[in-house]
Structure 1
Amino acid sequence: MDTLRALFLPCFLVSTASSQETIDTLFGAAAGDRFGAAVAIVGDVDSDGRADFAAGAPGSDAAGTDAGRVTVYSGVDRKELFSVDGPAPGSRFGESVDGVGDIDLDGVDDLIAGAPGASRALVFSGVDGAILYDLAPATGGLFGTSVAGVGHADTDAWPDFAVGATVGNGVWVFSGRTGGLHWNAPGTARDLGGLGDVDQDGFDDLIAGDYTFDAYGGRAVVYSGLTGSVIRAHYGDPGWQDHLGKGATGVGDVDGDGVGDYGYGVPCNCFASHYVEVISGATGALIYWLSEYTIGWDVAGAGDLDLDGTPDILASVPGSVFAFSGADGSDLFAYGSAGMIDGGADVDGDGFPDILAGAEWDSTNGNAAGRVSLYTLGCPYPAPQNYCTALANTTGLPAAMGWQNSTSIQANNFRLLATDCPPHQNGVFFYGLTPTQVPFGEGNLCITGTMQRLSVVNTGSAGVPSYSLDFTDPPASSGQIHAGDTWYFSFWFRDPAGGPSGFNLADGLQASFCP
């Protein structure tokens, strides 16, 4: 007992939070620009170690009425790196945009964007926006309605890409090495997405969605990247006007079978629910539905937002972005006011994947000038939780552990506190790796095994002591807190009038830490 009592002469505490934060917001330059009609995280084009992003403004008049513009921004500070204007008035360049990998093999990823008003698509350098390929086939109405980087659809070292049209041959896959056509296929491709190698033939595949197919029943078709043959197709019900296929794209391997999976929206199942179907890339079987009101206008892979080892999924409605657990489809969080989305990369350098969201209808800078926002989930672990039962002290109440700020190791601002302690008494926060509940003094001890003590603090006149942890300076090497760790915290305090032992304890606080 005396050994344990000696332990509680200094003490330490920890906590974590699940926070959703806006990193930055950019606005369209003028009314009608529709800035954010398409958005894409495009890799590190300025070679500063951070992912960068692009946004389309198909209504921009900078190069003529509705010529359109695509602007590429630094992920670090959101400064404009360069912009590319549409090829002609009315071309609506920027209705679609995506990263395509390093087409010109200069060590920097490149981009593709569609100009469906001119039935063209431009592939341009990620370094300076120089045009690498200007694609304008003789057939394929509204060519450029959708675009996608598709990985490697042939045997060479260059990444390849796809362009969608809405009339005639709707799916076009091109060589990254030459810009020449690999293949095209009939049908409409209002949405395109790369999938990885779902048929396990050694070449990457793609999905095309057409939510207007069959009187708005909609469909989503998975194609072989190598040959253009149909691997499988999914169809909506025209009677319900499902609009199946909106936002069709790959979402990563959510079922853990080593093959990338995919999702598509069913946003207008108007007399029933609205949902996203998440499908096994290996078998075509339904893995689960994601459901929210009118959800499924766009779908994107999110990367591993909650750090559980499984990639997560984004889906939007006109006005909100939802993040779902890839492991089981459960809700993670929601953000307001966005339509087109992308994710999967750490733009702001905090160690977590971020979310890029466009709202082309935003009127902050004029009617439909548009807006693009960057969001982060921040520390994704569950918030610290209290455990173990504390007993009443001379205040008449049990002391309770609390926390403030963040459980991020990088932020290094985690603060412990305890409430309802006797005023003007000394005490110590302490922590360890093993929870328990055993009688001790006039209360219960909530931690067992090796314990780390922090410096003595006073409860003050309010009876609320606090202590700010410094993750760079633990009380001992065995008390170093790392990202991914779970520790247990409590507070020992003097309470001379509380009973024979003269001390009591707060309850316990369980906290998990993130990078």
Structure 2
Amino acid sequence: PVKDTYGVVYLIFGRNNANTLDIDLSPSQFVGGASTGFRISGGGTASKLGQSVAAAGDVNGDTYDDIIIGAPGTTYAGRTNCGAAVVIFGRSAASTFDDIDLASGIASTAGFSILGAAAFDELGYSVSSMEHMNGDSYSDLILGAPNVNGVFGATSMGGSVWVLYGRYTSATIDLSSMNAFGAVFLGLPDNSKLGTAVVGLGDINGDGLDDFAFSAPGQAVSAMLSAGGGYVMYGQT
């Protein structure tokens, strides 16, 4: 059964015929499988898995598209509500599609987790991806943590946006130790809540690299408190 506030995400497969398919998503009735889909259950109380969900492109270079799911309420290693995201790898239609319970961890063949840097960051509040941001063959990830407070020089509730490059390995990424390749953007001034929304844009300036945008809805502009702001960033090698 799905535990209260853990969160759950259902991945439902497309069909190549016009037949209707009724699917009961109640915890006791859902039956997954190769023709239906599968269920991903959150890893802890109030982890809020499914707060954000996005297509991730091919993050690990195996030719199958992947998905990324945010769980901003995740607590890990004493970091209350540090937040997390999980990447679930795509695979052949001939594969077995069992439900995934993140309380038991995730197999390296199934995907990997990304853990927030500090308590109350709420990493995974927003998630998205880009196919060719840095010019390699892997899709890259964008993650928002709008409540970041003082980590890596961030201001109080300034928020942050993380860009993580795709890779062929499936090791857990813990942002507290910066064991990842990519970039981090920090919100200024206080209460900007940078990363409340993130989105991949495709190649908007025609340079062959994908671009992305993110919001800071609490950002002050001159004397206008909480006027908000949005930023567009160009891809680069």
User: TM-score band (shorter)?
Assistant: 0.5 to 0.7
Q: SS at 1:45's partner residue?
A: coil
- 1:20 deviates by 4.7
Q: TM-score, normalised by structure 2?
A: 0.63
Question: Is it true that 1:71 corresponds to 2:111 in the alignment?
Answer: no
Structure 1 residues 16 and 93: alpha-carbon distance in aligned structure 2, compared to 1, 3 A threshold: closer
Q: TM-score, normalised by structure 1?
A: 0.30
Unaligned 5+ runs, structure 1: 1-14, 179-515
Structure 1 residues 126 and 18: alpha-carbon distance in aligned structure 2, compared to 1, 3 A threshold: same
Distance 2:143 2:208 in 1: 22
- 1:155 deviates by 4.1
Question: Is it true that 1:26 corresponds to 2:40 in the alignment?
Answer: yes
Aligned match of 2:188 = 138
- C-alpha deviations, 1:196-235, integer Å up to 9, x for none? xxxxxxxxxxxxxxxxxxxxxxxxxxxxxxxxxxxxxxxx
Percent identity of equivalent pairs: 30
- 1:116 deviates by 0.3
What is the Cα-based RMSD across aligned positions, in Å?
A: 2.2
Structure 1 residues 20 and 101: alpha-carbon distance in aligned structure 2, compared to 1, 3 A threshold: farther
Which ranges of 4 or more aligned residues in structure 1 deviate by more than 4 Å?
none
* CA contact 1:71–1:80 (8 Å) conserved in 2: no
Structure 1 residues 16 and 55: alpha-carbon distance in aligned structure 2, compared to 1, 3 A threshold: closer
* CA contact 1:122–1:131 (8 Å) conserved in 2: no
* Equivalent of 2:147 in 100, 117, 123: 117
Aligned match of 1:43 = 57
* CA contact 2:55–2:128 (8 Å) conserved in 1: yes
- 1:41 deviates by 1.1
Question: Is it true that 1:89 corresponds to 2:129 in the alignment?
Answer: no
More strand by share: 1
Question: Is it true that 1:104 corresponds to 2:152 in the alignment?
Answer: no
- 1:80 deviates by 3.6
- C-alpha deviations, 1:77-123, integer Å up to 9, x for none? 57542211112111000000001222222201011010001100100
Distance 2:197 2:59 in 1: 22
Distance 2:51 2:217 in 1: 18
- 1:16 deviates by 6.0
- C-alpha deviations, 1:370-393, integer Å up to 9, x for none? xxxxxxxxxxxxxxxxxxxxxxxx
Question: Is it true that 1:172 corresponds to 2:172 in the alignment?
Answer: no
Structure 1 residues 19 and 147: alpha-carbon distance in aligned structure 2, compared to 1, 3 A threshold: same
Distance 1:133 1:87 in 2: 14
The letter for the 2-side match of 1:95 is Y
Structure 1 residues 142 and 16: alpha-carbon distance in aligned structure 2, compared to 1, 3 A threshold: closer
The letter for the 1-side match of 2:20 is S
Structure 1 residues 111 and 89: alpha-carbon distance in aligned structure 2, compared to 1, 3 A threshold: same
Larger Rg: 1
Count the aligned residue pairs: 164
Distance 1:62 1:16 in 2: 44
**Which aligned pairs between 1:220-259 and structure 2 lie closer than 5 A?**
none
Unaligned 5+ runs, structure 2: 1-16, 24-35, 92-96, 101-108, 149-158, 174-179, 220-227
Question: Is it true that 1:126 corresponds to 2:166 in the alignment?
Answer: yes
